[in-house]
Amino acid sequence: MATEVKIPAMGESISSGILAAWHVKDGDFVEKDQVLYELETDKITSEGSAEVSGVISLKAEVEDEVDIGQVVATIDESASGSSSAADKQSSADTASAETSSEASAEPAAAAATAAETSSEAKPLSPAARKAAEETGVDTSKISGSGKDGRVTKSDILEAAKAPAPAASPAPAPASAPKASSAPAPAGERKETRKKMSPLRRKIAQRLVAATQEAAMLTTFNEVDMSAVMKLRKQHQEKFVERHGLKLGFMSFFTKAVTHALQAVPEVNARIEGNEVVTQHYYDIGVAVGTDKGLMVPVLRDCDKKGFAEIEGDIMDYAKAARAGKIQMSDLEGGVFTISNGGIYGSMLSTPIVNHPQPAILGLHNITERAVVINGEIVARPMMYLALSYDHRLIDGKEAVTFLVKVKEAIEDPARLLFGI
């Protein structure tokens, strides 16, 4: 009895994905709940597990585009790990016997058999066929490394990298004029091509859509981080002892943004057709960078959570996003986004709104700068803040007021306790 391994449904907006990796090989014995493959869609990267134990037979290759519901493998439940090994040993013995028999055949017959084998067309997967078309490589001249000598995409790409054999130049007529040659470029010009991942394509589409559908404007301010840094230093040790995690800057900004949204409700809204929908909840998205692209998991009900809960949520989401374990439900429903480019050293930027959200706050690097306080020039740890917003919905007055509320809450964290 064979059980089909199908690509599961992952939300109404996801219809297909790219098979990013197999964690097992064709013919392996797999256990129930063992991770089989990694699937990359335009929103998330997820893993598929075995529903039963048995010997697996792969029906799709890495980098194939597969549809929701498509069968990518089958698992033979009647085969056990030991019987599978015995089958492999039996196959190996049979192959050995056949090889010995062939070795004793007449040389002419062996040569004929080899010629017939080499003339057969080598089957190509969709991914390999596309690679062959793009590179122009003659697959009949490649020794395949796949199963049964099958030529894989990697075989084709490796062949494309190999230098072509130099041909002897034809002698030019003695009377022919010497052609002027263009100067050769200094050094070798290397290029590599890689298909855009579904996640990267979706990010690109969303960013372009945001710039085309919204009237974006960015306003700036700066904030003195002295009070927050002092507060963190003063209570960090006890905070770690009690909660088992560090008190970071992001929880302060999350609470400050929540405070500002409550003070300026016009920023906590969105446009739907000809209507303005005001949101009375505070689900804040926090941008997380991964090696596959930017993800924005959403922290729910930030008005009801303390610093420890927010820090715990941020840590859990960051780990899940970077491990490819993030869920669709984790990315949906945010009302506002915070993006911290400062962790990469960014001094100033104009972030793009995460449509249909109305605004996004960009945080930047903390640097000591000379500022004037009470008539004196002093050095303070300063950070630039950038608020990008949809000017169709939010006027300059509301945007500036919102940013000032964030600044005041960070420079005087006690305001967050008293809601002022």
The 10s digit of each residue's pLDDT in 84-103 is: 444 545 444 544 445 444 44
251 closest CA partner among 381, 386, 363, 419: 363
**Architecture of the 2-81 domain:** Beta Barrel (2.40)
Is it the case that residue 207 has pLDDT exceeding 70? yes
Answer yes or no: is pLDDT of 105 > 50. no
Cα-based angle 80, 83, 89 (whole degrees, multiple of 5): 140
Q: What is the pTM of this model?
A: 0.62
Q: Which of 33, 67, 138, 395 is catalytic?
A: 395
Output the pLDDT for position 85: 46
Catalytic option among 23, 243, 391, 412: 391
Backbone angles phi, psi at 269, to 5 degrees: -150, 170
Q: Are 406 and 250 in contact (CB under 8 A)?
A: no
Active site residue 259: no
pLDDT over 80 at 152, yes or no = no
- Classify residue 201 as left (phi > 0), alpha (psi -120 to 50) or beta: alpha
Q: Which residue has the higher pLDDT, 317 or 178?
A: 317
Q: Which two tokens stand for residue 38?
A: 């990694």
- Please answer whether residues 321 and 45 qualify as being in contact, where contact means their C-beta atoms are separated by less than 8 angstroms: no
**What value, to the nearest 5°, has the Cα angle with vertex 346 and ends 344 and 347?**
150
Q: What is the mean pLDDT of residues 28-38?
A: 90
Give the span between the Cα atoms of 144 and 122, in whole angstroms.
8
Amino acid 46: pLDDT: 78
- pLDDT attached to residue 172: 52
Q: What is the pLDDT of residues 360-401, one digit of tens each?
A: 999 999 999 999 999 999 999 999 999 999 999 999 999 999
Is the model's pLDDT at 117 over the cut of 50? no
Please state the rounded mean pLDDT for residues 159-187. Answer: 58
Dihedral sign, Cα of residue 122, residue 126, residue 131, residue 136: positive
243 catalytic? Reply is no
With H, G, I as helix, E, B as strand and everything else as coil, classify residue 232.
helix
CB-CB contact of 250 with 340 (8 Å): yes
CB 387 within 8 A of CB 203: no
219: left (phi > 0), else alpha (psi -120 to 50), else beta? Answer: beta
What SS3 class is residue 212? helix
Least confident of 82-91, 123-132, 280-289, 406-415: 82-91
pLDDT at 55: 92
SS3 state at 39? strand
For the chain, the structural domain boundaries read 2-81, 127-154, 200-418
Q: Residue 114 — pLDDT band, cuts 50, 70, 90?
A: very low
Closest CA to 264 of 359, 195, 143, 338: 359
pLDDT at 147 over 80: no
What architecture is the 200-418 domain classified under in CATH? 2-Layer Sandwich (3.30)
More confident residue, 12 or 26: 26
